Structure 1
Amino acid sequence: MTLQPFAGVRPARTLMIQGTASDVGKSIITTALCRILVQDGLSVAPYKSQNMSLNSYVTPDGKEIGRAQGMQADACGIPATTDMNPILLKPTTDRASQVVVHGKPYRTMDAYSYRHEYLAEAGMIAREALDRLRLEHDIVVLEGAGSPAEINLKDRDIVNMRMAGWADAPVILVADIDRGGVFASIVGTMELLEPDERARVKGFLINKFRGDVALLQPGLDWLEQRTGKPVLGVIPHIDRLKLESEDSLSIQKLATAPHPNGELLDIAVIRFPRIANFTDIDPLIAEQDTSVRYVTRPEEFGTPDVVILPGSKNTAEDLLFVREMGLEPLLRAHQERGGWIAGICGGYQMLGQQLRDPNRIESDNESLPGLGFFPMETVFATDKKTERVSGQAVGWLLSNEQAANDSERTSFLIEGYEIHMGRTSFLLETEHPMTVGILRGTTEEPPHQEGARSTDGKVWGTYIHGIMHNDEFRRNWLNAIRVDKGLTPLAVELRFNLLRKAEFDRLADHVRQHINLQLVYKIMNPNEEADQ
């Protein structure tokens, strides 16, 4: 059973994926269905009205949306737009978030103020964005947030059941069996829904299953009898799926196990409380010769080959965390014994001498000393820089041998994106660190030098998210570390963006095998004859 395309003729059909809780797999199931429908010849767009995430994505026109919607747009084979995620909330503290509206910062608000002062307007913005998508595509696949049964939030909901009503979308409820209590979570969620909301739920997907589904069948039969709703599929756990995760709850699951023989490069990533755009690390996890682990405490630090300071939504507070946890002296000792350090965005800012925030943009700290690896300071501005960038980045090795000096080093074409409030400048021009690259962005800004590197090349930083997704650059850096460790350099084998495309298809094939797709099509198309 298939659907007939009709993009531009009338508003698109809709289908909504909601979950019994966070991290049950809503984003991945939405991605899989987007890819399946595209494979079946339909024009498909993803949509999430309001997203809360520190893992964001920059659209081709330089706007910021949730990482999941950017990934889902890639799965659909279309450019991402802010209509796919018109409201993005980026937590800055436990009680406040930066509100990003159609890709640009609106203001930082605490939860109460956002809910009571802005949520109604946010709902209108979200509905208008969905209406535009529905005029451009055959199907819009909506994703909910958290659980639709959060009774304290339901009266002003713009992301779960109220949005399903506005979109007239049938709902598939996803539950995670891997965490236990799957039948209780489904039945409990249904019991807390209003009668009209329960009617909108057309079936269930049980996700992350391990084992023999025959042993689960009595429970599935009971669930269908108890709720009167079909189980649309039991999706087995898919091993080591190399697609981005949006929820920081899943960070630790992405780490690779240490290798006992020392042949792998040991990469320690500092896990900040406000870690942002942690998908920068994904290509390193996928590499053949790396072991990646996340570190929060001194006893976890060990003796890594590399330490990465990743992005942060609150650089000052996360730097204080590094100090409070006792990680700063370990970083200095790591450098003194010849270890490698890389900082990305917020992590790069920390490598300087000073952080200044005169307008309290990111925190209450007007001034804070940095780690002091580079003679630079960062001042946090009131406007955010969000753009895609490309240019040349200087490498470390030349012809698989260490170059005699920096002028002999090879360079690589790179692409990435910048998202930051801070503006970094160097305090000592005569000691200006070696640059990582010459970049041109999507704006009219002229080419400029970007990033910093120590004389020996072992400490470097950049504002460019996605720099590790550049295969030749990444392999050249890893090979320099290998040579320093006495290991032989390796050829470029991982083509991460090609791997990512293949993973979309692997995911789609996996879900297609385990879902009643004919019934899903019927759910999306209840009143029309469908082609056989």
Structure 2
Amino acid sequence: MRKAVPLMIQGTHSDAGKSAIVTALCRIFVQDGFKTAPFKSQNMSLNSYITIDGKEIGRAQGVQAEAAGIIATTDMNPILIKPTGNYQSQIVVHGEPFKNMKAGEYREDFFQQGLKIIRDSYDRLSASYERIVIEGAGSPAEVNLNDRELVNMRVANIANAPVILVGDIEKGGVFASLVGTLQLLEPEDRKRVIGVIINKFRGDVSLLEPGLNWFEEYTGVPILGVVPYIDNLIIEAEDSVVLNQYTSKLDASKELDIAVIRLPLISNFTDIDPFFEEPDCHVRFVNSVNDLGAPDLLILPGSKNTIEDMMFLHSSGLANRIMDLVQKEMVIVGICGGYQMLGNSIEDNYQIESVHMKVEGLRLIPLKTKMTPTKTTVHSKGIARFGEENIPVSGYEIHMGESYFEDECSHFIQLPGRNEGAMTRDKQIFGTYLHGIFHNDLLREILLNEIRFKKGLEPIRNRASFAQKREASFELLAKVVRENIQIERIHKLLTDFQKVEIKHNETKEKDKK
């Protein structure tokens, strides 16, 4: 059976833009007639994506699959590492929790098992697609880790993939980082690098040309493109490092102030993305009482360790400040871990997430949560009750805990066969396990107009569809990348690389005989 033609995208460091380039290439290759899939052997992320069969993978691979117009599977990200704090991470294998491990234990005890999982997953994908776009992690030149790494050059060798190295010029020192990375690679690995892409460029490319020419002469590696910085892309990030770009300060030019608590172990923060696209909203991420102010809407997002993050709210003084603001009629929403924090208490008797077995919540709804060994991962559709409105909604659940009411409380969402979430009668406080709740355009519109009404502002009707804006971002990303890289040359380099590999393998077979 003929196998897929692979291409691997590696970077000089984390956040060089590998995920975005892979997303763009997935869309470009599909546009050029190739059945394409993404692949990342091992992903460390607290932003998850739920596959159609209820499994958990890194969000980037789910997004890349969408860009390629295919259904995401766990083979596209067979190993997901989710940091839980206390120097441990939850290891998710093919979408299901496998074990909590410390870094040393993972490197020593899981390596061979992980290698087999990766090989098997890649082989299945390769048998089903014509192109595989593989994403690395961090840098392939981390010499302290390379003897047992499972995500960069070892995967390139497994797939027999050529590599394009991506450097981020926005942070400065791009030529030094590219040259340094190449020089630190083993000679056999360096041969896999068919070119580099310089990413996130702002300015006149002609001013960069002397550096481009020097780089090619010095390294012998071609520059395959200079991709400009693209503003206003609506494509979810997977790494919380992107939160550093968001301000904690109020923007008085916007009518609605939305504050999101930046929990130490924040997860699935992409739940907030639709608000960035609303013309009347300013979104802030805050982690201190001084920055919180008095927002119109406060969002408690998801958490990978709800007890530890709840303890942070108490120790930072944010819990007391939130209680004060609730008395002043601020609207507050909790999602997943944030929903659990709205309740009376959170217990972890099995120490699944935390060494602390119980913490008091904000006590804003009569909810009690107990952590359980079984993780819920499921797509959900239902009807949200928002006052007199019944609104169709959809989303996905990822949580370890089970919650139940200790007193009478109204449910927020009616799902098939069960009720979900909670809402106070005055619609001031509500919570849900449903990630993606704000991606439902009508619910988001009604919520924002409710807040506008309280402030004496006219409602805004028929807000733009977030899903349509997101699809337009896929198209924009692919268009800009295509226009700024040598895509035809890349197609030829992939073909030529495979021819060389085939000839090399044939020679080895002859030598054996």
TM-score band, normalised by the shorter chain?
A: over 0.9
Written as runs of structure 1 = structure 2, the 5 A alignment for 1:337-376 is 337-376=328-367
Out of 289, 294, 306, which is 2:297 matched to? 306
Deviations 1:37-78 (A, max 9, x none): 111111000000000000000000000000000000000010
Q: Does 1:175 align with 2:167?
A: yes
Tell whether the 8 Å contact from 1:412 to 1:472 is kept in structure 2 after alignment. yes
What letter matches 1:357 in structure 2? D
The equivalent of 1:12 in structure 2 is 4
Out of 467, 485, 497, which is 2:437 matched to? 467
Tell whether the 8 Å contact from 2:48 to 2:268 is kept in structure 1 after alignment. yes
Tell whether the 8 Å contact from 2:212 to 2:223 is kept in structure 1 after alignment. yes
Out of 371, 376, 389, which is 1:380 matched to? 371
Shift of the alpha carbon at 1:255?
A: 5.8
**Residues 15 and 477 of structure 1, relative CA distance in 2, 3 Å threshold:** same
Between 249-258 and 49-58, report the one with greater CA deviation. Answer: 249-258
Out of 312, 315, 318, which is 1:327 matched to? 318
Shift of the alpha carbon at 1:278?
A: 0.5
Question: 1:416 is paired with a residue of what secondary structure?
Answer: strand
Question: 2:108 is paired with a residue of what secondary structure?
Answer: helix
What letter matches 1:31 in structure 2? T
The equivalent of 2:150 in structure 1 is 158
Shift of the alpha carbon at 1:322?
A: 1.2
Shift of the alpha carbon at 1:394?
A: 1.2
The equivalent of 1:195 in structure 2 is 187
**Residues 71 and 255 of structure 1, relative CA distance in 2, 3 Å threshold:** farther
Tell whether the 8 Å contact from 1:256 to 1:285 is kept in structure 2 after alignment. no
The equivalent of 1:516 in structure 2 is 486
The equivalent of 2:309 in structure 1 is 318
What letter matches 2:15 in structure 1? D
The equivalent of 1:482 in structure 2 is 452
Q: Does 1:436 align with 2:412?
A: yes
The equivalent of 1:507 in structure 2 is 477
Tell whether the 8 Å contact from 1:255 to 1:285 is kept in structure 2 after alignment. no
Deviations 1:187-217 (A, max 9, x none): 1111110000111111110000011111111
Out of 250, 253, 256, which is 1:265 matched to? 256
Shift of the alpha carbon at 1:524?
A: 1.2
**Residues 205 and 256 of structure 1, relative CA distance in 2, 3 Å threshold:** farther
Q: Does 1:282 align with 2:273?
A: yes
Out of 55, 72, 84, which is 1:80 matched to? 72
**Residues 422 and 32 of structure 1, relative CA distance in 2, 3 Å threshold:** same
What letter matches 1:490 in structure 2? I
How many aligned residue pairs are there? 499
Out of 425, 428, 435, which is 2:404 matched to? 425
Question: 1:303 is paired with a residue of what secondary structure?
Answer: coil
What letter matches 2:403 in structure 1? T
Tell whether the 8 Å contact from 1:254 to 1:285 is kept in structure 2 after alignment. no
Give TM-score scaled by structure 2 length: 0.96
Deviations 1:349-384 (A, max 9, x none): 001001111100010111111110111110000010
Between the aligned residues of both structures, percent identity stands at 51
Written as runs of structure 1 = structure 2, the 5 A alignment for 1:48-59 is 48-59=40-51
Tell whether the 8 Å contact from 2:248 to 2:285 is kept in structure 1 after alignment. no
Written as runs of structure 1 = structure 2, the 5 A alignment for 1:55-134 is 55-93=47-85, 95-134=87-126
Tell whether the 8 Å contact from 1:257 to 1:291 is kept in structure 2 after alignment. no
Q: Does 1:449 align with 2:441?
A: no
What letter matches 2:410 in structure 1? M
CA distance in structure 2 between the aligned counterparts of 1:140 and 1:330, rounded to whole angstroms: 50
CA distance in structure 1 between the aligned counterparts of 2:373 and 2:310, rounded to whole angstroms: 20
CA distance in structure 2 between the aligned counterparts of 1:191 and 1:364, rounded to whole angstroms: 44
Shift of the alpha carbon at 1:493?
A: 2.0
Runs of 4+ in structure 1 over 6 Å off: none
Tell whether the 8 Å contact from 1:256 to 1:291 is kept in structure 2 after alignment. no
**Residues 410 and 417 of structure 1, relative CA distance in 2, 3 Å threshold:** same
Deviations 1:122-150 (A, max 9, x none): 11101100000001110000000000011
Could you tell me which runs of 5 or more consecutive residues in structure 1 were left unpaired when the two chains were aligned.
Answer: 1-8, 397-408, 441-446
The equivalent of 2:243 in structure 1 is 251
Q: Does 1:37 align with 2:7?
A: no
CA distance in structure 2 between the aligned counterparts of 1:43 and 1:462, rounded to whole angstroms: 37
Question: 1:525 is paired with a residue of what secondary structure?
Answer: helix
**Residues 44 and 254 of structure 1, relative CA distance in 2, 3 Å threshold:** farther
Between 324-333 and 505-514, report the one with greater CA deviation. Answer: 324-333
Question: 1:115 is paired with a residue of what secondary structure?
Answer: helix
**Residues 264 and 509 of structure 1, relative CA distance in 2, 3 Å threshold:** same
Tell whether the 8 Å contact from 2:384 to 2:414 is kept in structure 1 after alignment. yes
What letter matches 1:39 in structure 2? Q
What letter matches 1:479 in structure 2? N
